[in-house]
Amino acid sequence: MVALSGAHTIGKARCTTFSARIASVGVGVSAGSSANKDMGFLQSLQQLCAGSAAGSALAHLDLATPATFDNQYYINLLSGDGLLPSDQALASSPAGATEDVAALVADYAFDAALFFDDFAASMLRMGRLAPGGGRAAGEVRRNCRVVN
């Protein structure tokens, strides 16, 4: 899943999907604290979303290289600039986790070839998965939100 999350190096998300990341901007953060390192990033997101109707504005999942499939997503996570809360959580996996997720994020940030290899292998494995939900056959949805 950590490798597949790297697909977030391309794409955009609506403000409503990352509102939890920006809800606490400026609350309880003192100058010089470790949580302050991503304040500029979060404040820019807050400004983007404040001007949009019903959270409809879009932000790039990867601000540094939004149109390039690369390992910048993981570099962003290490610097606290992951857009989605679930993405940013990957950079701080709890101690004793089954797999050291945070270490894998760091590995991918520093070794693009490792990320590319693991991503390709993960995509192939995912493609071999049988359809879920007890259905005999899957379906390609015309609209991802609605069953055909």
Structural domains of the chain, count: 1
For 126-146, b/e burial (b = at least 16 CB within 10 A) is eeeeeeeeeeeeeeeeeeeee
Range of the domain at 113: 2-127
**Per-residue exposure over 16-43, b if at least 16 CB sit within 10 Å of its own CB, e if not:** ebbeebbeebeeeeeeeeeeeebeebbe
Q: Is residue 139 part of a domain?
A: no
pTM surpassing 0.85?
Answer: no
Mind listing the pLDDT tens digit for each residue in 16-53?
888 877 776 655 444 433 454 567 888 888 888 887 67
- Whether 67 maps to a domain, the answer reads yes
Q: Is residue 58 part of a domain?
A: yes
138 within some domain? no
Does residue 26 lie in a domain region? yes
Mean pLDDT rounded to a whole number for the chain: 82
Task: Specify if 63 maps to a domain.
Answer: yes
Structural domain contains residue 46? yes
CATH number, domain with residue 63: 1.10.420.10
How far apart (Å, rounded) are the C-alpha atoms in residues 135 and 133? 5
Does residue 143 sit within a domain?
Answer: no
